[in-house]
Structure 1
């Protein structure tokens, strides 16, 4: 899109081409929750496992948005680590846990397949797009 072109409301420029969304670069958040229930959930994910529904419910029920965001950030950090280790099962389980808790905060047209790894490929070239989408959500998550 040239400077004199105005974007249209549907996210396309006046030539009908879709605009590229600038996603954040993959980087650790350094976040960590402090509540024992949330720490237990992070420890489950650290082992590459999908947290039990009760653990995910604990995240949803916590009143503190700061703790919720810290939990999201810690899970994203584990997802980055799982990708760097080529652990497809852990990538699937962690991204699935993130989706199960925070999918309501994603953009309307976001599909589960956009943000959850499949769990069966260990290719080092595996896309970092799901991580970058989670980082975008993390950065936009308002704790005020």
Structure 2
């Protein structure tokens, strides 16, 4: 291996190790994940596939994450990217895990017209997995309610 190739490989390994050592809120380079429909079906439960890949919605009150109170973070169930910190979670009374702010740079949005009325849908920036909808009726300081499907998240204790 030539010196230049070695330096490039070493630099790549250093970048990967920094991302692996990063905390859930640290700024990291987010590489997109693109899998086939068949690969997603192998990776996810049927319920998670319906929500993450087909923009479905789980039944209100069905997620065990509604009662989760420990410190930690909530990651995308499709790709493990941390999306929300536990200190941003609150009880909205809607039956879905709700947060007043995501980790910066981890969510993308688009307008959803599925119920005729326009809503803002949000998804994981790494894998594009549908998470839920954001509304302007949340608590201060953001006044936002990120209403998330529990099956689209994994809780990771601190």
TM score, norm. by length of structure 1: 0.29
- Which structure's residues are more often strand, by fraction? 2
TM score, norm. by length of structure 2: 0.27
- Which structure's residues are more often helix, by fraction? 1
Instruction: Report which of the two structures shows the higher radius of gyration computed on alpha carbons.
Output: 2
